[in-house]
């Protein structure tokens, strides 16, 4: 235990409060009235503090009360750090009452561009003193941020493995196949099998990103090994490549919602592949009151049904 903690164990906080009140008001009677104690109780607490410290803190006579040199030194320190302590305690009380707080959230670019603006606006209308700091990153980076304590939580897709993390589900969505409208054999179709799709140049996310892991695992269950012709992180880049006829890709509806799809056509994959979106937290993380309120809001949010 640090030395300052050992020293403070010998002192009662009420003794410091009584001492500081007398020091400021220069009167035991006025201090007693200020903190709603009897004058005798104030005197006892100050005397107990003097006994612990082994020094006199006040010059006393029948008419005046003055700080000794030792009392002056203690008064300055208590006042300085007391102001800082009061500020911190007030902030913590405000956070506990959801009047103040900051939440750092890492989320997927597709969610940052679609759901999150509305969610943040609605949540902050309920709790105007709470600020949300948003980062849009890929799923692998989001998980790393949570594990490293760089954010309070992430709203992301469920990875195949969750080491030291916990996942709170929010909604599911079926992935869509995106092809160029110039592909005559595909643009009039509504579905395509994984086996047939694997014949086309596949454009996918790099390994380590949850979406790529889900797609690869689904194809592997059907005995299909895939080797992407391009590995690109951003959904906008993937769709742009598809529009130019470079290949085909597989993306969730949320990633397509804010993109220009005029030159593309989407199909349903058979069998379907889903991704689950949820809140990811570190196992050893205790949410702040603001973060807890945000998580509760997310769990009760009426998410648009995009799984069909």
Domain final position from 79, 96, 113: 96
Write the CATH number for 186. Answer: 3.40.190.10
Q: Are both 145 and 288 inside the same structural domain?
A: yes
Q: Are both 163 and 280 inside the same structural domain?
A: yes
pLDDT confidence of residue 1? 66
Q: Are both 200 and 61 inside the same structural domain?
A: no
- Provide the residue-wise pLDDT of the chain in tens; the chain has 308 residues: 678 777 778 888 899 999 999 999 999 999 999 999 999 999 999 999 999 999 999 998 878 899 999 999 999 999 999 999 999 999 889 888 999 999 999 999 989 988 899 999 999 999 999 999 999 999 999 999 999 999 999 999 988 788 889 999 999 999 999 999 999 889 889 999 999 999 999 999 998 888 999 999 999 999 999 999 999 999 999 999 999 999 999 999 999 988 999 999 999 999 999 999 999 999 888 999 999 999 999 988 766 544 44
Asked if the structure places residue 306 within a domain, the reply is no
pTM for this predicted structure: 0.76
pLDDT confidence of residue 7? 76
Distances in whole angstroms, Cα of residue 181 to Cα of each of 140, 195, 228, 237, 242: 31, 20, 20, 17, 9
Q: Are both 12 and 71 inside the same structural domain?
A: yes
pLDDT confidence of residue 163? 82
Asked if the structure places residue 305 within a domain, the reply is no
Q: Are both 207 and 127 inside the same structural domain?
A: no
For residue 218, what are the domain limits?
A: 176-272
Domain final position from 96, 121, 150: 96
Q: Are both 284 and 147 inside the same structural domain?
A: yes
Write the CATH number for 84. Answer: 1.10.10.10
pLDDT confidence of residue 307? 41
pLDDT confidence of residue 302? 67
pLDDT confidence of residue 306? 41
pLDDT confidence of residue 308? 43
Residues 81 and 131: beta-carbon distance below 8 Å? no
Domain final position from 48, 65, 96: 96
Q: Are both 199 and 232 inside the same structural domain?
A: yes
Q: Are both 148 and 32 inside the same structural domain?
A: no
Q: Are both 200 and 251 inside the same structural domain?
A: yes
Asked if the structure places residue 308 within a domain, the reply is no
Q: Are both 156 and 210 inside the same structural domain?
A: no
Q: Are both 202 and 245 inside the same structural domain?
A: yes
Q: Are both 287 and 145 inside the same structural domain?
A: yes
Q: How many domains does the chain have?
A: 3
């Amino acid at each position: 235990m640090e030395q300052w903690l050992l020293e403070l164990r010998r002192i009662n906080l009420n003794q410091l409060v009584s001492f500081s009140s007398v020091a400021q008001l220069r009167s035991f009677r006025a201090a007693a009235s200020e903190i709603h104690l009897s004058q005798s109780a104030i005197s006892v607490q100050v005397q107990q503090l003097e006994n612990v410290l082994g020094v006199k803190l006040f010059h006393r006579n029948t008419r005046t009360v003055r700080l000794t040199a030792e009392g002056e030194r203690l008064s300055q320190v208590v006042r300085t750090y007391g102001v800082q302590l009061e500020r911190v305690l007030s902030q913590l009380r405000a956070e506990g009452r959801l009047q103040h707080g900051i939440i750092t959230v890492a989320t997927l670019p597709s969610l940052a561009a679609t759901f999150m603006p509305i969610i943040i606006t609605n949540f902050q209308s309920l709790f105007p003193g709470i600020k949300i700091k948003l980062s849009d990153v890929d799923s692998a980076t989001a998980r790393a941020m949570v594990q490293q304590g760089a954010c309070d939580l992430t709203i992301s897709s469920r990875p195949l493995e969750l080491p030291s993390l916990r996942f709170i589900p929010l909604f599911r969505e079926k992935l869509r196949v995106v092809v160029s409208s110039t592909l005559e054999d595909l643009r009039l179709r509504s579905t395509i099998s994984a086996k047939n799709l694997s014949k086309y140049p596949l454009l996918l996310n790099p390994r380590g990103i949850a979406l790529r892991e889900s797609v690869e695992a689904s194809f592997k269950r059907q005995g299909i090994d895939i080797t992407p012709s391009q590995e690109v992180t951003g959904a906008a880049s993937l769709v742009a490549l598809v529009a130019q006829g470079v290949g085909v890709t597989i993306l969730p509806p949320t990633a397509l919602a804010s993109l220009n799809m005029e030159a593309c056509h989407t199909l349903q994959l058979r069998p379907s592949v889903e991704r689950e979106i949820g809140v990811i937290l570190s196992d050893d993380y205790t949410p702040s009151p603001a973060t807890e309120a945000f998580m509760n809001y997310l769990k009760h949010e009426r998410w648009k049904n995009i799984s069909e």
